Structure 1
Amino acid sequence: MTQTLRFTLPGGREREITVRYALNAGYAGRDTEQVQHHVDELAELGIPAPRRIPTLYPLSASLVGRPDVVQVAHAKTSGEAEWALVVGENDVLLTVACDHTDRALEVHGVAWSKQSAPDVLGDVAWPLSEIEHELDQFTLKAWVRHGDTEQLIQDGTLAQLLPPSYWLKELGDRVVPGTVLLSGTIPMIAGVDQFADAWRVELTDPRRLTSRIHYTVEELAPAWD
């Protein structure tokens, strides 16, 4: 199952790209010591460490979209602010993304948890070739909402993550038209409850053009078992 997404480019042009393949990067920070520390922290929580760092999780293309509501099986799910590459026929676009993940399932397998919730993409996208030289100046922020209260939970720049050029070089011929690649995420602010009623994510360029995501989280009724 594929989905065609429409993006607004700088200057107001629009592009449509049909998603055929999805890849989620993980443990993809540029500071390798910080990444290893994060792996060690997760191991203490029972979340298995990857065999290699950074790592990559192939996903079903049907999980990539732009939903207003993300339906989940229980309360222990949350998003992650990221960038995403969207590969067209003749170019590559960059947009904001939010990787929603089942945290309860994560302890049994990160790859499984990635398959249980969507990758949400933003509305605005930039041609990568036009902004690659200034990517480290892009800001990436996420907010969570609990009831009527919204809190900042992630606040950083793309300088904290491995750049698109790393993944394009590593993947080579696997980056075919219709591929969507999510970058991995930046740290969350300590003390903010990630298990929220809604997520909002923004990626902003040096000229203040912003790609946005906003969705609410709806917990489904329990299974009849």
Structure 2
Amino acid sequence: MQFKSPEGVLECTPNALVVAGWTGRDRAAVDHHIEELAAIGVPAPSEVPLYYRCAPSLLTRDTTIAALGKESSGEAEPFLIQTGGKLWLGLASDHTDRALETYSVAHSKQICAKPVAEDVWAFEEVADHLDQLELKSWIFEKGEWVVYQEGTLASILPLTQLMSGVEMADGTAMLCGTLPAKGGVRAAADFKMALHDPIRGRTIEWSYSATVLPVIA
């Protein structure tokens, strides 16, 4: 997989993928969300935060992915990749099967591709202002693009803290959690996302669509 950085093109073959969940910095809000999801059948996490292990082959640069059934949607997340002895920050979507979540969150994450943006920044260049980075996503709904998520990384546990729970060896990639969905989590086939650095005046953007595969028995 290739990534574009201000230093040039990076060649990397991810050999481990971690999807961090329940990473909100406000623990009371996280607990409340766990209770809300439990009410609709989503099992509570065994730990907070929780590190789901997924196949690195799920990471994709494709702008069209396939999902089983109609109940899936994306989540914009900070993306970390360790390669060449250096840590990089990018943007990815934890596309998830919402129906399968009620059976197993881990299964719901493993079943869906994880689109990842092409651009990355050196982590050392943003480490001193991570909380000011702005994360935003949109879904195409009822004929128009609507804001689905919006906020700063200050709402997510510090990325250095999240990394302390994972061995970030060369080839390790991690999705670092997300922001609440405006209007609630819901299915959406078309997804756009952006990570903006207001200090350095630059933005990483990516978009993709999910086609629906029929659920047959």
Q: TM-score, normalised by structure 2?
A: 0.95
Q: Deviations over 1:31-81 (max 9, x none)?
A: 111111111100001000011111110001111111211211111101111
Instruction: Tell me how large the CA RMSD over aligned residues is.
Output: 1.4
Secondary structure at the aligned position of 2:139 is classed as strand
2: CA distance, partners of 1:119 / 1:218:
14
1:199 aligns with 2:194: no
Give the counterpart of 2:78 among 74, 78, 83.
83
Give the counterpart of 2:204 among 188, 211, 216.
211
1: CA distance, partners of 2:106 / 2:81:
21
- Structure 1, unmatched stretches of 5+, are none
**Equivalent position amino acid for 1:119 in 2:** K
- Which residue is 1:8 aligned to? 4
Mapping 1:85-100, distance limit 5 Å: 85-100=80-95
Asked if the contact 2:72–2:189 (Cα under 8 Å) also holds between the matched residues in 1, the reply is no
- Structure 2, unmatched stretches of 5+, are none
1:167, distance to aligned residue in structure 2 (A): 2.2
1:147, distance to aligned residue in structure 2 (A): 6.0
2: CA distance, partners of 1:116 / 1:169:
26
1:152, distance to aligned residue in structure 2 (A): 0.5
1:165 aligns with 2:157: no
- Which residue is 1:37 aligned to? 32
Asked if the contact 2:73–2:189 (Cα under 8 Å) also holds between the matched residues in 1, the reply is no
1:104 aligns with 2:99: yes
- Which residue is 1:134 aligned to? 129
Secondary structure at the aligned position of 2:12 is classed as strand
Mapping 1:62-77, distance limit 5 Å: 62-77=57-72
Q: Deviations over 1:134-158 (max 9, x none)?
A: 1111100000013641111000111
The number of residue pairs the alignment matches comes to 216
- Which residue is 2:182 aligned to? 189
2: CA distance, partners of 1:69 / 1:147:
20
2: CA distance, partners of 1:182 / 1:197:
20
- Runs of 4+ more than 3 Å apart: none
1:15, distance to aligned residue in structure 2 (A): 1.3
Asked if the contact 1:98–1:213 (Cα under 8 Å) also holds between the matched residues in 2, the reply is no
Q: Deviations over 1:108-137 (max 9, x none)?
A: 000000111011111211111121001111
Determine what percentage of the aligned residue pairs are the same residue. 35
Asked if the contact 2:139–2:188 (Cα under 8 Å) also holds between the matched residues in 1, the reply is yes
Give the counterpart of 2:146 among 141, 151, 154.
151
**Equivalent position amino acid for 1:58 in 2:** R
1: CA distance, partners of 2:212 / 2:63:
14
